[in-house]
Structure 1
Amino acid sequence: MLSKPAPYARPFWLTRWRLTALYASTMGAILTATAIGFYLAMAQDHRREIDHRLETVASTLHDSLEPSLNQPGQLTPLVLQILPDLCTTSAGCSAPPDRHVLGLLHQQGYYLRLLDLSGQRVAIAGDPPDQVIHPTGAGLHTLHKADGATYRQMSLPLKNAEGIPWGYLQVGSSLEMLDQHLSWVRWALLLGLPLALGLVWAVSWWVAGLAIRPAYRAYRQIQQFTADAAHELRTPLAAIRLSTESASRDKPMATTEAQGVLQVVNRQTQRLTTLVNDLLILSRLEQADDRSAPTQVCMPDLVKDIEEEFSALALTKGIHLTTVAPDAKTLTVRGHESELYRLLLNIVGNALEYTPKGGHVTIRLTPRDRYALINVEDTGIGIAPPEQAKIFDRFYRVNPDRSRHTGGSGLGLAIARAIAQAHGGDIQVKSVVGKGSCFTIQLPRAT
């Protein structure tokens, strides 16, 4: 999570809120549409099932009753045998049998009605609603009672054995169970959907934080980098300005004094040039599209060149510089030779700088599976554990006074890591204060 926003970080918080609103609204719309679609599909499926049952029962009864019918509007004993639980308008209701041809009518909510040609009730079974669909209204209908109860009814015309119209058959079912079930589903969706949307909002806030964190971190790094670069540039520029102002205010200077001023200006100009060149290198490494095509780099030759480069400095400081590469005579890395040279130059240069007289610096080249390992070991002053994670940061110096005295810009190790990472590798450091350090460079081998 991001910390409480400072004024400069407020745009990132606004962006996070906008991302959260975008994610949450999108997911909320999808969830709402899905919930509505689920409810409508489930309701339609249940109604289709009820309609299918009514059509099946009505068709079965229709086919069973028509051969048993005689005079229009009158029931025959055979009809009463087929449906012994009918309540007729003349004889009333008989006792329900143990079983009959359609046990579905005994289920709660189902009913049957027989009507004559004028629409008058001849017989009923079950508990039909008071409303009667006119006989001409054959097919499926939805009925509504005054108390709000809803029924679904199937109506079919009946004929006797001679094909003469006899009356009408109505089979229906109460939709109370379905309405209760759909009401429960609606409440579940109405209560569950806000909870789901709340969870979506929380997750969207977390995801937006993850999405914006790299940009925020890069922004902070740019801010820190700008501040550090300004600080590094200010020192030599101030020295140059003071020297030139001093020279312009004084009387005509002697040759010795003029040479001193020029030496200060030249020295500070060199520091500025080194700093600008290092910044350009870092910028180029971060823009992969601007780099040239990589080539095969022979690492033993490169390490040998580094040893020759520093041999005079090591001899002057009284440091034993050695190279060990017993099993790496043909070890190659695919990359840019000038950049890899700069990588080793910075690491070995640092090792020599912080190793006292009589110490040892060893460059060890070893093939390891798919990688080339380069260990630069020294017996120098070492690096304290809290500072080991910071030494690859730009402009960070373990000993600022000493680094500035030697002309260092504080970008050497940052450039080294950037080069290693640009080649698909990395740099790690292990160090013990007072005993020395070991920098391990890991680079992918050329296939």
Structure 2
Amino acid sequence: MKHNRVFHTTRLRLAGLYAGTMGFILTLCAVGFYEAMAYSHVSELNHRIESVAGTLHDGLEASLQQPGKLEPIVQEFIPSLCIARTTCAYKSTATHYLGVFQEYGYYIRFVTLSGQLLASAGEIPTDLPVRVETEPWQTLEAPDRTRYKQLSLLLKTANQDAWGYMQVGRSLSDIDGHMVWVRLILLIGLPTAMLLVAIASWWLAGQAMLPVYRSYRQMQQFTADAAHELRTPLATIRANLESTLTPDATDADAWDTLRTVERQNGRLSRLVHDLLVLSRVDLQGLPAKQESCNLNDLVNDLVEEFSALAIASNISLTADIQTNTPITVFGSEEQLYRLVANLITNAIQYTPASGQVIVHLKRDDHHALIQVQDTGIGIPSKEQARIFDRFYRVNSDRSRHTGGAGLGLAIAQAIAKAHQGTIQVKSELGKGSTFTVQLPLRKDK
């Protein structure tokens, strides 16, 4: 396949289509996985911030009296609260809320309506910008490029006047660090997966095209063999006609030429007939009209018919029917007759003088078995796999003493398959061959 430019190009395109499709799907999956993981982490963090901020908001809002002023009770509520522009020292006395800040890295800030920082608590960098925005959620970035997720809630006094903002946030450094590793894994894993997909795509494209390529090669071989078989008789006819049409040709030469033309025309007719039989069996299978076929009578008739040919070749041809009960199958008697006839003809052609050909007929529980056994030249084991190919001859033997065009066994196999049967060969070089046809028995209604 690699030496054929058309198939090689098609394989490249098919592999590219496979790889491109799988690459697109893998990329979508990778991006989806990354976004889903990032969304999951951020959603979980937002939920925690909302929970902490909601609890603090509900606990503090009732104690606020004057806008922009922290009441002493707030410092009692959050002992670690550090007032802006004062020196703060860490206090070990901690409430539940302070414990949450210290354990999970949260911070809290109190900001006036104008954006002035009043106090803060928790793990918060001193240079984190203070923003007052209408949107409750903000993502802030410190000078060291550490990102923070922050929720701003409006606080009101007991008289429902706007007091200022409470901002609760947390660092995103652990989430960002985790996502960096995820990106690194995807950046390394995705190209590696794409490379493996490309290799697999090339192999799969080859496997997908292999039956097509084999069919293409068989078609090429069929064309070459058919051309060879047609060229020989046509060349013979032309040569004889040219010799006959010379001025010196006699009536005897003309008669010899006509007889040669008749023989070659017969060869061409048989070749065309065999090709038509193969085509008909391939396209149509069994004929619409089928019947019960008695294989006992069929074998006896064929042995009797080919006895003259066997005697002329000094070969013993006998039938061995191993049951007195009629063995019947359902199908086309004409095609089955042709199947067994081809096997007998093949056996006689490849069996030397004084040899023997035996046609066995027997049955098992579900099948009829026809075996054509000869003591001929045998078939090499490496050739047996191709013996049923059209126009195929062992060792490319195209000499005329064996007759035929190499289509007999191909026709026999096609007929056997059309009858839901099989045909097999066992052969040993120099000792002979046995062709076994297995056909399903007729089922009595």
Same fold (TM over 0.5): yes
Over the residues paired in the alignment, what is the CA RMSD in angstroms?
2.8
Aligned twin of 1:105: 101
Counterpart residue identity of residue 12, structure 1: F
User: What is aligned with 1:390?
Assistant: 386
Q: CA deviation at 1:423?
A: 3.4
Which moved further from structure 2: 222-231 or 108-117? 108-117
Check whether the contact 1:320–1:358 (CA below 8 A) recurs between aligned residues. Answer: no
Q: Which residue of 1 aligns with 2:167?
A: 170
CA distance 1:76–1:400, shift in 2 (3 Å): closer
* Larger displacement relative to structure 2 (350-359 or 57-66): 350-359
From the superposition, tell whether residues 82 and 365 of structure 1 become closer, same or farther in structure 2 (CA, over 3 Å). Answer: farther
Separation (CA, whole Å) in 1 of partners of 2:396 and 2:14: 42
Give the match for residue 120 of structure 2. Answer: 124
2:80–2:121 CA contact under 8 A, matched in 1: yes
C-alpha spacing 1:268/1:41, structure 2 compared with 1 (3 Å): same
The answer as to 2:419 corresponding to 1:423 is yes
| 8 Å Cα contact 1:324-1:362 kept in structure 2 | no
Task: Report the residue type matching 2:236 in the other structure.
Answer: A
Q: Deviations over 1:31-62 (max 9, x none)?
A: 22222222222222222222111111110111
How has the CA–CA distance of structure 1 residues 369 and 199 changed in structure 2, closer, same or farther, with 3 Å as cutoff?
Answer: farther
CA displacement at 1:186 relative to structure 2: 2.1
* Conserved? CA contact 2:320–2:360, under 8 Å: yes
2:229 counterpart of 1:257 = no
The answer for the alignment partner of 2:345 in structure 1 is 349
Seen in structure 2, the aligned counterparts of structure 1 residues 398 and 94 have a Cα distance that, compared at 3 Å, is closer
Q: Is the 8 A contact 2:327 2:363 kept in 1?
A: no
User: Matched residues in 1 for 2:48 and 2:257: separation?
Assistant: 107
State whether residues 296 and 446 of structure 1, in contact with CA within 8 Å, keep that contact through their aligned partners in structure 2. no
Give the structure 2 partner of residue 208 of structure 1: 205
Determine the structure 1 residue equivalent to 2:57: 62
> 1:151 matched to which residue of 2?
148
Q: 1:279 aligned to 275, 280, 284, which one?
A: 275
TM-score (norm 2): 0.88
SS in 1 for 2:376: coil
The match for 2:428 among 424, 428, 432 is 432
Are 2:193 and 1:196 aligned? yes
Q: Distance in 2 between matches of 1:321 and 1:110?
A: 102
Pick one of 301, 306, 329 that aligns with 1:332.
329
Q: Does 1:239 align with 2:254?
A: no
Q: Residue type of the partner of 2:243?
A: S
Same amino acid, percent of matched pairs: 52
Report the alpha carbon displacement of residue 143 of structure 1 after superposing the two structures with TM.
1.8
The range that moved more, 78-87 or 241-250, is 78-87
Distance 2:48 2:367 in 1: 73
CA gap of 1:402–1:26, structure 2 versus 1, over 3 A, is closer
CA distance in 1, matches of 2:247, 2:319: 53
Aligned residues between the structures? 438
Q: Structure 1 residue 400: deviation in Å?
A: 7.3
State the alpha-carbon separation in 2 of the partners of residues 401 and 203 from structure 1: 42
Give CA-to-partner distance per residue, 1:325-362, whole Å, 9 cap, x none. 428634424x4332222111100222233345554433
Aligned match for 1:12, one of 7, 10, 32: 7
State which of 22, 36, 39 in structure 1 corresponds to 2:34.
39
Distance apart, 1:124 and its partner CA: 1.0
Displacement of 1:205:
0.8
Report the more deviating stretch, 48-57 or 421-430.
Answer: 421-430
Task: For 1:96 and 1:221, locate their aligned partners in 2 and report how far apart those are by CA, in whole Å.
Answer: 90
Give the whole-Å Cα distance in 1 for the aligned partners of 2:98 and 2:300: 100
Structure 1's unaligned 5+ residue stretches are none
Counterpart of 2:377? 381
Structure 2 CA distance for aligned equivalents of residues 108 and 401 of structure 1: 88
Partners of 1:397 and 1:118 in 2: CA distance: 101
User: Runs of at least 4 residues of structure 1 off by over 6 A?
Assistant: 399-402
Aligned partner of 1:409 in structure 2 is 405
Instruction: Note the residue ranges of structure 2 that are not aligned, 5 or more in a row.
Output: none
C-alpha separation in 1, matches of 2:353 and 2:403: 20
Q: Out of 339-348 and 33-42, give the one that drifted further.
A: 33-42
2:181 is matched with: 184
- The farther-off stretch of 367-376 and 426-435 is 367-376
Residue 139 of structure 1 is aligned with which of 136, 139, 159?
136
**Cα–Cα, structure 1 residues 247 and 77, in superposed 2: closer, same or farther, change >3 Å?**
same
| 2:361 alignment partner, SS class | strand
**In structure 2, what residue type is equivalent to 1:26?**
T
Give, in whole Å, the separation in 2 of the partners of 1:51 and 1:239: 95
2:77 maps to 1:82: yes
Are 2:237 and 2:264, in contact at CA under 8 Å, matched by a contact in 1? yes
